[in-house]
Structure 1
Amino acid sequence: MLAHVDQGSGPPVLLLHGGALDHRLWEPQIPELSRTHRVVAPDLRGHGASETPTAPFRHVDDVAALVRDLDLAPVTVAGISLGATVAVDLALEAPELVAQLVVSGAGAGGAEFRDPATLDLLARWAAAEQARDRARWTETFLELGFGVGRSFDDVAPDVLAHVRRMTDDTLDHHVPDGMPVLPTPVADAAARARELTLPVLAIVGLLDSPDHQRMAREVADRVVEVPGAGHYPNLERPDVVTGALLASLRA
């Protein structure tokens, strides 16, 4: 079973973190949501306290097993970045487990990037990975997370340090000697997502890349825009994101 936090009681909420991070991404939301809901926040495989993958796997299978083992269904699933994609995958592969979705920074299937500035940053990120240049990899990862071309001086120091700490922990514990085993994607997820009928809320940081914003909007029937926030709006504007989550849960 995936390592996870399980806090509070009431209608269940599953919080899925972004790539290279862990459940601590959701620290601003967990205490408030757990006042009225049972909140489960796992570490995906290859992240946090969960095991490092050594063979092909799918995140969606791990998450579905967790939902069943903890008897959470039907559960509201909220995901950021990688977590958003896994949330959509869960609704596609096991719709009986999911009550509604909240996505941020991603949508269905593999990411499709078109914005020239983002493509340039991704090329630099890939080059850093190829060169095993950890410092440069981390800096490009953070730039993508807080807004392409945005100065880190514009990000609250505690928020920047929080994301950097999670990233460092992931690299230290799960990628110590080279390339990790990457998850197998869900087949035809983007095409299949057009047929989703359950409620889907997108929470969009307006400083996130245009492509990340677009991917979240494409799967949603409702959108909450968050000014002054990049790829992790729940960290930069926790009041807005927590409020949007609570409103969606109450609805």
Structure 2
Amino acid sequence: MTALQAHELVRPDATIQYWTGGTADGPTVVLLHGATMDHRAWAPQVDAVAERFHLVLPDLRSHGTSTGEFDFDAAVDDVVALLDELTAPQVVLVGLSLGANIAQAVLYRDPARVSAVVLADATCNTAARQPLAAAMTVAMLNAQAMFTGDGFAHHAANLTATDPGARAYVLAVNAHRSNKETVAILSSLLTSALQPDPDYRLPVPALLVHGDRDAIGDIATSTRAWAQSEPLAEYAVIPSAGHASNLDNPEKFTAVLLAFLDRVASTPPLADVGREGQTGTS
């Protein structure tokens, strides 16, 4: 089992806990977990990835042992500050769900810091959207969260994962969290992360991946088209897996992840991109 060293990053309104381990002189891979989870969501991947890479696993603000009220933009700021703490000039960002939305935002803001991205079970931050879609989804979440008892928590766990063990983890990690807090996290994602910019293209090699049974929004149906529109993207589907594809089918997910990392982790970015747009290089 890979030994992980605990650290903390003090922010103006939060303390971010993170862990490092793996191959000290290997390329740095930062693993960003999904909404309402924590760094332990990556447990099935840690040992295999650590054999060849240096790992960084934070608990996002208001998740796990990190403090602070959740706000999407603040969470992006936290990750940028974390990158400032690391010695690596560039990192690979690997994100699941919310973590993938944060990875996209970091890349959009500061592409020079990132050599490649893995975006798992996530929507495209910059895709064109119906103007009222986010507001309607937030209203639906608030209506669902009004049910008493643990019905909302079980519904969320069932939507997140298909594997019983993964569902049990999702329930356990959220045992302390109120429905109101969960809705606030998801609402911040919907209202802050999803900012249409249809001409934007990912400026570094990317792996877009999702579980074949992901029932969250249109992820399962839209990711293939997203990948086809991205010149530097690869696309993979994890069989027998839901929204938490790395937990539902960890063997397949890990194999796909490692194959991608081995291809791109030591490769310089293929384009230089500013926040205003892209200028490709050949």
Q: Does 1:6 align with 2:12?
A: no
CA distance in 2 between counterparts of 1:205 and 1:157 reads 16
Q: What residue number does 1:165 align with?
A: 172
Gaps of 5+ in 1: 115-119, 147-154
Q: What residue number does 1:224 align with?
A: 236
CA distance in 1 between counterparts of 2:103 and 2:252 reads 21
Q: Does 1:103 align with 2:119?
A: yes
Q: Does 1:234 align with 2:238?
A: no
Q: 1:58 aligns with which of 62, 68, 74?
A: 74
Q: Call closer, same or farther: CA 1:175–1:185 in 2, change over 3 Å.
A: closer
Q: Does 1:46 align with 2:46?
A: no
CA distance in 1 between counterparts of 2:72 and 2:257 reads 33
Contact 1:106 1:215 in 2 (8 A): no
Give the drift of 1:72: 3.2
Contact 1:128 1:134 in 2 (8 A): no
CA distance in 1 between counterparts of 2:164 and 2:89 reads 38
CA distance in 1 between counterparts of 2:153 and 2:218 reads 21
Q: What residue number does 1:202 align with?
A: 208
Give the drift of 1:55: 7.7
- For residue 28 of structure 1, give the secondary structure of its aligned residue in structure 2: helix
Aligned residues between the structures:
233
Quote the RMSD (CA, aligned, Å): 3.1
Give the drift of 1:125: 4.0
Contact 1:206 1:213 in 2 (8 A): yes
CA distance in 1 between counterparts of 2:193 and 2:144 reads 27
- For residue 124 of structure 2, give the secondary structure of its aligned residue in structure 1: coil
CA distance in 1 between counterparts of 2:237 and 2:111 reads 27
CA distance in 2 between counterparts of 1:143 and 1:59 reads 26
| Equivalent residues in 2 for 1:110-125, closer than 5 Å | 125=141
Q: What residue number does 2:158 align with?
A: 143
Q: 1:34 aligns with which of 36, 50, 55?
A: 50
- For residue 44 of structure 2, give the secondary structure of its aligned residue in structure 1: coil
Q: TM-score, normalised by structure 2?
A: 0.72
CA distance in 2 between counterparts of 1:53 and 1:156 reads 30
Gaps of 5+ in 2: 1-8, 10-15, 131-135, 264-282
Contact 1:109 1:185 in 2 (8 A): no
- For residue 3 of structure 1, give the secondary structure of its aligned residue in structure 2: strand
Give the drift of 1:47: 0.6
Q: How far does the alpha carbon of each residue in 1:150-175 deviate from its partner, in whole angstroms, 9 at most, with x for none?
A: xxxxx443222112112224x17x94
Percent identity of equivalent pairs: 29
Greater fraction of residues in strand: 2
Q: How far does the alpha carbon of each residue in 1:3-48 deviate from its partner, in whole angstroms, 9 at most, with x for none?
A: 1111112110011111111111101001111111111111111111
CA distance in 2 between counterparts of 1:205 and 1:67 reads 29
Larger radius of gyration: 2
| Equivalent residues in 2 for 1:154-193, closer than 5 Å | 155-169=162-176, 171=177, 175=181, 182=188, 185-186=192-193, 188=195, 190-191=196-197
- For residue 210 of structure 2, give the secondary structure of its aligned residue in structure 1: strand
Q: TM-score, normalised by structure 1?
A: 0.80
CA distance in 2 between counterparts of 1:70 and 1:202 reads 25
Larger RCO: 1 or 2 (CA < 8 Å, sep 6+)? 1
